[in-house]
Amino acid sequence: MLPLKTLVADDHRLFRQGLISLMNTRPDLVRVVGEAATGREAVERARALHPDLVLMDIYMPDGDGLHAARAIRADLPDTHIVWMRPSFSI
């Protein structure tokens, strides 16, 4: 069902904001419902927001993306998770 309720989880604030800005140009496809900068925040926000999609950085502080994804999938099995790994560092 569109638009997809999406949570963006990445520890690089500028990358996260840029991705959200890009997705906001297509409100017919994607609705960003939240963002997170750590693995723990990603799990907390997913539990609170019940997104359809989580765009997840693999390497984040305070619980990496792999652990966060396991926790999200355990609680929200219908939520899809797409891994992101930017090839740059800020």
pLDDT at residue number 87: 57
Q: What Rg, from alpha-carbon coordinates, does the chain have? A: 12
Rounded-to-integer distance, Cα 47 and Cα 56, Å: 15
> pTM score > 0.85 for this model?
yes
pLDDT at residue number 8: 98
In the chain, count of helices (H) and strands (E)? 3, 4
Rounded-to-integer distance, Cα 62 and Cα 17, Å: 20
What would be the CATH architecture of the domain defined by 4-84?
A: 3-Layer(aba) Sandwich (3.40)
pLDDT at residue number 89: 52
Which residues in the chain land under pLDDT 70? 86-90
